[in-house]
Structure 1
Amino acid sequence: MQFALQTGLTLRAGQRTLELTRELPDREYQFEDVITRRALVLSVAELIHRIYSKEYQVVLGGAPKGQFANRTVVSVLDLSALKEYERAEMERRLDYVSRLRRQGITKGQRKKIEEAIAKLANSRGEAVPSATTVMLWMRNYEISGNNALALVNKHRMRKRARRLTDSVEDVIWRMLKQHYLTPQKNSLRFTHDQLESELKRLVKSGQLEQDTAQVSFPTLARRVQDIDLYTRVAAREGVARARIVCRTAFPEGVAAYPYQRVEIDHTPLNWVVICDRTGLPLGRPVLTVMIDAYSGYILGFYLSFYGPGLTSVCGVVRNALRPKDPFLQGLNLENDWLSMGLGDEWVIDNGLEFHSFGFKTMAMALGVDLMYCRVRTPWLKPHVERFFSTLNTLTLMRGRITKTVANVARIDPYKDASITFSDLVRGLLMFVVDVHPHQPNWRKMATPYELFAEGIQRSPPATFPGSLEQLTLASGMAKQLTLRQGGIEFYGLPYGSYAFKDIVKKYGLKQKLLCKLDPDDISIMKVLDPDGRSWHDAVCRWPVYAKGLSFNQHQLIRKFAKADLNSPERHEALLASRQRLHEHWMEATNHRGRADALLAGRYADMSSHKVLSGQSSSLQLPLSESKQLIVPSEYRISEKEIPEFESLAF
């Protein structure tokens, strides 16, 4: 909107509305608040600067009232974008309009215009344009606010009329959809051949006339160009490829200060490491990184064999939050690790761990916003992706994972590995602190260390959780668990607390409670009271097992124990034991006489003293070697015949 420095100019300054009331000496202008009528004096330079910097917004321009006061022409062209002949024609028309205005001739004085343009055309050595045309030029020039682009030939923006009939256009579009815009990626020449065959068939059937059923290859190519690029690529190569080809950058995606945008991602390292204790190869660890999008400075990292899960994310968050001085003691590094505190927004992908209940609860507890990138759009978090690519430049060659190349001898990285896990962690720490932050960023003409150090000087101080307990609650694993009579069970581990007694008395059993655990030490669980105001400590009832145990260790132990219990050897042994027990019951319940049973009990020398003391039975010793407390005639039993009875069935 155009504006003039005269009464009626109205500006909006935040919630205030200012109106120009009078012009003062020394090129100053007085404004008044339309509500309070408080005066404000501004110089012309300061006023124009505030308007152009958008500190003030023009509400009413105060432009002269007249026939074209409210009519504006939006310029969609630029003078440098015009071709040479278009620029020459525009300058020619502007010459006619400017000379007529210098002579004081307005657009309504046809007689004077005819006389003036005759002399002007004679001096230019060209044919005389009509007065009506020149009057139209003058009118357009005034309406546009003296914009020379209003004199550009309108043929530049006209649309070409298509000469083909609607029936032929429908056939062209149908053939493009059937043969060209398909995943088969047929060539345009093949599509044109199919189009010609279809047109001949329609002419032969009488649906089209021979004169109109003619489509050249350039015409078909122009029809393809009329289709937007995204639709063409998506139809032939898929939507993901179309997003890559047609991706653009947006201004709000650039961070303006440190910690505004923090990118988080995982990657497996290309090295096999060995165990510090056993010296055996462990495999490829997974690196989780938090990086500042403003400077490219590393805020924290976490290295483990857990994989890209919630445990890794919790570990890198806690590493990024805390001051780094305790981590650097004894390493003799050249620089400090400056990062600590929270960020404003975390930029993440669509991994399952980032959509979990625990991660979202942690972000809400820390007061951090989340921005999820679309699938297959790595350019939305380019800094962390670029950092991962720099890891391949590390000079650690032994144990490196490489691609298999034909006819090239490949060294097994598991046999070639020589670096321990602790040495790898120290090496990555040296790279993160002393090497990567001091590599020049040629786009910003500075290093990440300089950008981050300068940015934190002009940014507000870093914020931290209120306590280490709050940090554990914010960055711990969150899960809804049920309170039962035996306490809370978490992956086979029982947890108990004296606070459970009050919860059960007040709310009853089977309450769903929010529980949080430190993934690196699951011996203590934080349980939120149902009132939502207090947390209770629940201790694992197996303290010897759970002390210092991580969640992933517990899962692996249960996994191996389950596999061992389900092993075929254990199953066969269990079946054999069950069979022996069954045979024992069958033998023990065999029908025999009372005298035989009594004789067997006496012969076995059965007594409670023998059982409780664990002594061996006398059955294992021959009678001649056992102590003879009675003579054989004393335990001799006379045998009596058992009468036989006949059964009677009714």
Structure 2
Amino acid sequence: MRRFSFRRGLRFLRQQRAWLVVRRLTDGSIQLEAEDGELWNVREADVIRQCAIGELVVDLENSPDCAPPVLISRDLSSYPEPLQARALRRQMYLQRLRAKGPLVFTAKALTPLIREVAAEIGDRTPPSPVSIYRWNYRYSVGSSVTDLVDHRDRLGRRRRWSPEIQEIVTMAIDTILLHKQRHPRKAVCDKVVHQVTQINRARPPENQVTAPSRATLYRYMACLEDYELTAGRHGKAVADRHYRMVLGTQKAERLLERVEIDHTPLNVLVFCTKAKLPLGKPWLTLAIDKYSRMIVGFYIGFHTPSAYSVLSCLAQAILPKEDLLKLYPDITTRWPARGFFEVLVCDNGMELHASALAMACEDFGVQLQFCPAMTPEYKGAVERVLKTINHDLIHRLPGTVFSNVTERCEYDSENLACISFDTLLHVVTKWIVEIYNQTPHRGIGMPPAKKWEMGERERILEYPAEPAQVRVILAHCTERRVFHYGVEVNGLRYNNADLQLLRRRHGEDLRVTVKYHEDDVGYIHVFDPDHKAYFEVQAIDQGYAAGLRLIQHELIRAKLRKENEKPEALAALLAKKHELQDLIHTAAHSRKMATRKRKAVMKGVDSASAHKPKSIGSRRPKTTPATPLPPSAGGPVPQFKSVRRDHDGGESA
């Protein structure tokens, strides 16, 4: 809803007349002034009543955003030095002439006195009596030396454009110069000349209009208000941000009252020591305490900023740093930042509105505050330190890509990249602990480490009772089924006796909640549904997974898949597959093999003997009819079968 307040310069419209608020009188009424100078004293209640019934209309569009400043006359130092010298010379003449007695402004009386003063001060070109009269008249008003200064700053060329030319120039500026396509100023000149030419074609020679010169148009455009120019060519949001007004700063009265967090891409290429491949440009998430300017935590990852980046940074900010500094023996300075804070200030990105971040802040008892969109000034402390770390540290590392292509020039970032991820962590940690935190900060007048030490004396810090719970809260959550080999997360298997005990207790279809960490895939946390708590499960292949980051693990897996997909590897694999298919086809269509197996079954011979080779030239004797048994023997009468010889030397009935 639109609103107004009675401030100087507020504009009202009443019966097609404009009234401006001039001042508030001693009796509490408001004095308004019309355009013609008429004054109107009215009480606030009457103004509000007339606005309600429509007699007065508040013109907010043409009212200033703030009260116009109270202007104070300029002093002598604001003028150019030549004008200062001339004014002082005139003052010296007047003072010395007045010291000789009352001035009589006649040529006969002043001329001898002027020559005496000129001889005293060594002036070879004394002024005339008329000049002395004019100087004295101006000096007598306020007895100020500034009254004797020539107003030569008001001199200059005056435009003698007709209203018609002014309209053409204004239209050309509005449609071409103040356009989002950002046309050059030369296009404005061409447009003006074209419009004037079109007008002159339809007019007689005596009514022709003269187009302004290119130099005149350039001077006119140079006098345009820069805010309007930026708003027209780049947009109002850009102009408001560029010309924003800073009237104060966010202040923190105590330690860890306000922590600001933000992200920035680090302008350096990083490679993986295990995969021997570049990881790309990492993202830095950094948190800083507003009171002490101490960097309380950071996180470096290779994915776009997300809730997990913020949570990982918060975990390092809350927990003590002793275990982290043990990894780098060359860092001998303490990093005392630790403990819970009151307010967390972050961007207004959609990824930061995730439920995981909100739930973690609820668990920590931290108030989450989002800055308005496109307003980096709301967290200026962290914005400034992100720029500092890129310019003071990252741009000095081999493999830096600088801030843009122009700054990089011919620097071969990819071939010169020799910073591993572990080295980058070491370098950033050392820079934060031993350089930034120990350097005097201009905003607080002392190093952040000293300011932190002073803040610790005035506030009792709070720490997590279960530090391991912090890492569990901030980890990625998923669900997996438990097998005899454990659970599989990101292509790695995790198993131990506690996990198998759950499987024996709940059956083979058991699915458990798993928490895994990006900074170390060597272990996970599994939720025990019986004890309602998490327990740690390590990876089976600890030689590979211990201390390995998830981004490195994914890069190694991608490299293996790529190697297996090489053309020569695929061609060899396809050749082996074709050989196997040919072998199967030959065996399936062998008539000789099929015939031997069929004979062996019919004759009652095992398949092994059917495969034995026959001796060359061997023949079986013809079968002779057996002597029939007498019927009294009780045996069956045998049936005689004809025997034929196969082509391959065998016999068949």
TM-score w.r.t. length of structure 1 = 0.53
Q: What are the within-5 Å matches in structure 2 for residues 387-402 of structure 1?
A: 388-389=387-388, 392-393=391-392, 399=398, 401=400
Is the alpha carbon distance of 1:262 and 1:567 closer, same or farther for their aligned partners in structure 2, counting shifts above 3 Å?
same
Cα drift, residue 299 of structure 1: 0.8
Q: Which consecutive residues of structure 1, in runs of 5 or more, have no partner in the other structure? A: 3-60, 85-124, 126-162, 609-617, 625-630, 644-650
Is the alpha carbon distance of 1:314 and 1:204 closer, same or farther for their aligned partners in structure 2, counting shifts above 3 Å?
same
The answer to whether the Cα contact below 8 Å between 1:499 and 1:536 also exists between their aligned partners in 2 is: no
**For 1:90-118, what per-residue CA distance to the aligned partner results, in whole angstroms no more than 9, with x for missing partners?**
xxxxxxxxxxxxxxxxxxxxxxxxxxxxx
Amino acid at match of 2:432: V
Distance (Å, rounded) in 2 between the aligned partners of 1:526 and 1:313: 23
1:433 aligned residue: 433
1:319 aligned residue: 316
Is the alpha carbon distance of 1:196 and 1:491 closer, same or farther for their aligned partners in structure 2, counting shifts above 3 Å?
same
Distance (Å, rounded) in 2 between the aligned partners of 1:426 and 1:205: 77
**For 1:426-473, what per-residue CA distance to the aligned partner results, in whole angstroms no more than 9, with x for missing partners?**
5544432333223222343222223333334334x3344452343123
Distance (Å, rounded) in 1 between the aligned partners of 2:547 and 2:305: 22
Is the alpha carbon distance of 1:332 and 1:580 closer, same or farther for their aligned partners in structure 2, counting shifts above 3 Å?
closer
Is the alpha carbon distance of 1:583 and 1:70 closer, same or farther for their aligned partners in structure 2, counting shifts above 3 Å?
closer
2:589 aligned residue: 590
Amino acid at match of 2:570: H
1:179 aligned residue: 176
Aligned pair count reads: 475
The answer to whether the Cα contact below 8 Å between 1:283 and 1:414 also exists between their aligned partners in 2 is: no
Cα drift, residue 324 of structure 1: 2.2
Is the alpha carbon distance of 1:241 and 1:79 closer, same or farther for their aligned partners in structure 2, counting shifts above 3 Å?
closer
Distance (Å, rounded) in 2 between the aligned partners of 1:455 and 1:470: 27
Is the alpha carbon distance of 1:443 and 1:407 closer, same or farther for their aligned partners in structure 2, counting shifts above 3 Å?
closer
Cα drift, residue 568 of structure 1: 2.6
The answer to whether the Cα contact below 8 Å between 2:268 and 2:394 also exists between their aligned partners in 1 is: no
Select 1:337's aligned residue among 332, 335, 342.
335
Is the alpha carbon distance of 1:322 and 1:559 closer, same or farther for their aligned partners in structure 2, counting shifts above 3 Å?
same
1:194 aligned residue: 191
Select 1:263's aligned residue among 257, 261, 266.
261
The answer to whether the Cα contact below 8 Å between 1:271 and 1:284 also exists between their aligned partners in 2 is: yes
Q: Structure 1 residue 579 and structure 2 residue 583: aligned?
A: no
Distance (Å, rounded) in 2 between the aligned partners of 1:607 and 1:427: 74
Cα drift, residue 339 of structure 1: 0.8
Cα drift, residue 340 of structure 1: 0.5
Q: Secondary structure at the match of 1:471?
A: helix
The answer to whether the Cα contact below 8 Å between 1:347 and 1:373 also exists between their aligned partners in 2 is: no
2:450 aligned residue: 450
Distance (Å, rounded) in 1 between the aligned partners of 2:397 and 2:475: 36
Amino acid at match of 2:243: C
Q: Structure 1 residue 568 and structure 2 residue 572: aligned?
A: no
Distance (Å, rounded) in 2 between the aligned partners of 1:493 and 1:280: 21
Q: Secondary structure at the match of 1:261?
A: strand
Distance (Å, rounded) in 2 between the aligned partners of 1:580 and 1:492: 32
**For 1:366-408, what per-residue CA distance to the aligned partner results, in whole angstroms no more than 9, with x for missing partners?**
3341435745958854545435435654699784648799999
Range with bigger deviation, 195-204 or 428-437: 195-204
The answer to whether the Cα contact below 8 Å between 1:266 and 1:286 also exists between their aligned partners in 2 is: yes
The answer to whether the Cα contact below 8 Å between 1:361 and 1:478 also exists between their aligned partners in 2 is: no
1:640 aligned residue: 644
Is the alpha carbon distance of 1:568 and 1:642 closer, same or farther for their aligned partners in structure 2, counting shifts above 3 Å?
same
Cα drift, residue 575 of structure 1: 2.5
Q: Which consecutive residues of structure 2, in runs of 5 or more, have no partner in the other structure? A: 7-25, 30-40, 48-63, 76-136, 138-160, 624-642, 648-653
Distance (Å, rounded) in 1 between the aligned partners of 2:223 and 2:166: 13
1:290 aligned residue: 287
Q: Secondary structure at the match of 2:239?
A: helix
Is the alpha carbon distance of 1:576 and 1:365 closer, same or farther for their aligned partners in structure 2, counting shifts above 3 Å?
farther
What's the Cα RMSD here?
A: 6.3
The answer to whether the Cα contact below 8 Å between 1:272 and 1:401 also exists between their aligned partners in 2 is: no
Distance (Å, rounded) in 2 between the aligned partners of 1:254 and 1:540: 45
Distance (Å, rounded) in 1 between the aligned partners of 2:406 and 2:184: 33
Is the alpha carbon distance of 1:72 and 1:304 closer, same or farther for their aligned partners in structure 2, counting shifts above 3 Å?
same
Q: What are the within-5 Å matches in structure 2 for residues 448-597 of structure 1?
A: 448-459=448-459, 461-478=460-477, 490-492=489-491, 516-522=515-521, 523-526=523-526, 550-590=549-589, 592=591, 595-597=595-597
The answer to whether the Cα contact below 8 Å between 1:244 and 1:377 also exists between their aligned partners in 2 is: no
**For 1:205-264, what per-residue CA distance to the aligned partner results, in whole angstroms no more than 9, with x for missing partners?**
69xx97999999999999979987555314324567535532333646444443303233
Amino acid at match of 1:572: A
1:245 aligned residue: 242
